[in-house]
Amino acid sequence: METFDTTLTNATHPINQNAASYFMNTTSPRIVPDTMAGHATAAAILRSGGLVAFPTETVYGLGADACDDRAVARIYEAKGRPSFNPLIVHFADLDTLKQHVVWTEEAEMLASAYWPGPLTLVLRKQPHSPISALVSAGLESIAVRLPAHDTARAILREFGGGVAAPSANRSGQISPTQAQHVADSLGARVDAILDGGPCKVGVESTIVGLLDKPLLLRPGGITEEDLARTLGHPLTVRHKAEAISAPGQLMSHYAPVARVRLNATDWEPGELRLGFGDVDCDLNLSASEDLVEAAAHLFDHLHRLDAQGGSVIAVSPIPHEGLGIAINDRLSRAAAPREG
C-alpha cells in the first residue's frame, strides 16, 4: 500500500481536477494519514465521486457523497451486495442533518442524549432533499447519524454534506475495526482508506426507527435500556420473525403503484417503458449498458415513471452479473404481487 499524496487538499489543485481518472486507476487502496491534510484529501476524493473508508467510533465506514447517485452505486458495487440495503447517512453537524429529514420531538430527545455517538435514527426524508434515492433504496425514510469519532467528524466537516457509509467490508464478511481489515476485504475497490487506528465500540450503531412509535431496529452501541430511560417508556423491538409477518413497517421495500413487467423485450401499448441499452423507451437506466449508471438511476427512474400514473411499467432485461444482481433483486420485489 502506498501513502496518498497529501498535497491534494482542495478542488482547485491540479491533480484533483483530474481526480476521477487519477484515483480510479489505482491498483491497491491508498492509505491516507490521520492529519489535517489527510482529512482534506479524503474530502476531495468524496467530492470527486470517489469512495473513502474512514473510521467511526463503531466500525470503519465505506463513504461516498450521499447526493451523488453514481458514487452511491459504487458503494454497492464495491461491497458486492446482492441487494440494495438502505444506507446510513453521516453528518458533521445537526443543522446540516436536519435539512434532510422531518425532525421530531423524539428525535430531539435521542439526539440530545446520544449525539454525537453510536446511534442511528430512521426518519422521514424531506421531499426536496437532494440525497440520492439509491441511499434509501427508494424508501421515503432515511437513516442518519452524527458519529463521535474525531477523524470522521473532521472529514465530514471538511466535506460539508452527508456521507452515505455502510460498514467497509465485502458483503458477508465481518465489519472492519482497523484500516488493515478494510484493505484486506475491499482492496482496490476503495479509492482511499483513512487510517485512524482501531475503532473503540467495535459493534455497529444502534438503529431506532421514528416513523411511527419508536422501534428498535438493530441493537448496537447504545442499549435498549438507555433508550427507554431517555424516552421515558420502553421501545418496541423489531424481531426478525415480525419483520417478515409485518412487512409494512420500516424495512418494507420500495414498490411503485404501477404493476411492473420484467424482462420486456418489446413494449405493449400504453406501457411506461424503462429501458436498458440501445432501446427506444421513456427513460433509460443506461443506454450504454453500464450497470453502475443503471443502479444510480434505478429508484429515481421508477419514481418518475410511476408519477406519470400509468398502470404498467415495463423494464428491459438487465444482465444477472455484478450490480445487475442487486438491480434484478429490487426489480423482482417491485414486480411481486402485493397484498391489499
Query: For the chain, how big is the Rg over CA atoms in Å?
Result: 20
Strand 312-315 relative to strand 259-261, pairing: parallel
**Where are the extended beta strands (E) located within 134-263?**
141-145, 163-164, 192-194, 206-209, 215-218, 236-237, 259-261
C-alpha 69/C-alpha 130 separation (Å) is 10
Q: DSSP label at 190?
A: S
Tell me the per-residue interface mask from 109 to 148 with Mg ion, x by CB under 5 A, - otherwise. ----------------------------------------
Q: How far is the CB of 178 from ligand TXA (least distance, A)?
A: 14
CA angle centred on 134, ends 158 and 145, rounded to 5°? 45
Q: DSSP label at 206?
A: E
DSSP for 64-96 reads EETT-HHHHHHHHHHHT-SS----EEE-S-HHH
Tell me the per-residue interface mask from 46 to 85 with ligand TXA, x by CB under 6 A, - otherwise. ----------x-xx-x-----------------------x
Interface with ligand TXA, residue 204, by CB under 6 A: yes
Interface with Mg ion, residue 167, by CB under 5 A: yes
Interface with ligand TXA, residue 207, by CB under 6 A: yes
Q: Which is nearer to ligand TXA, 52 or 250 (CB)?
A: 250
The answer for residues whose C-beta is within 8 angstroms of residue 333's C-beta and 6 or more apart is 253, 255
Q: How far is the CB of 321 from ligand TXA (least distance, A)?
A: 23
Helices (H), the chain: 14-17, 19-24, 36-47, 69-79, 94-98, 105-114, 150-159, 179-186, 224-231, 240-245, 291-306, 323-335
Interface with ligand TXA, residue 142, by CB under 6 A: yes
> Scanning residues 245 to 274, which ones bind ligand TXA (CB under 6 A)?
250-251
Q: DSSP label at 33?
A: P
Interface with ligand TXA, residue 177, by CB under 6 A: no
Q: Which is nearer to ligand TXA, 56 or 129 (CB)?
A: 56
Among the listed ranges 35-43, 159-167, 262-270, 287-295, the one in contact with ligand TXA (CB under 6 A) is: 159-167
Q: Which is nearer to ligand TXA, 216 or 296 (CB)?
A: 216
Q: Which is nearer to ligand TXA, 69 or 204 (CB)?
A: 204
Tell me the per-residue interface mask from 217 to 236 with ligand TXA, x by CB under 6 A, - otherwise. xx------------------
Tell me the per-residue interface mask from 113 to 132 with ligand TXA, x by CB under 6 A, - otherwise. -------x-x----------
Site residues (vs Mg ion, CB under 5 A): 167
Site residues (vs ligand TXA, CB under 6 A): 56, 58-59, 61, 85-88, 120, 122, 136, 139, 141-143, 165-167, 204-205, 207, 217-218, 250-251
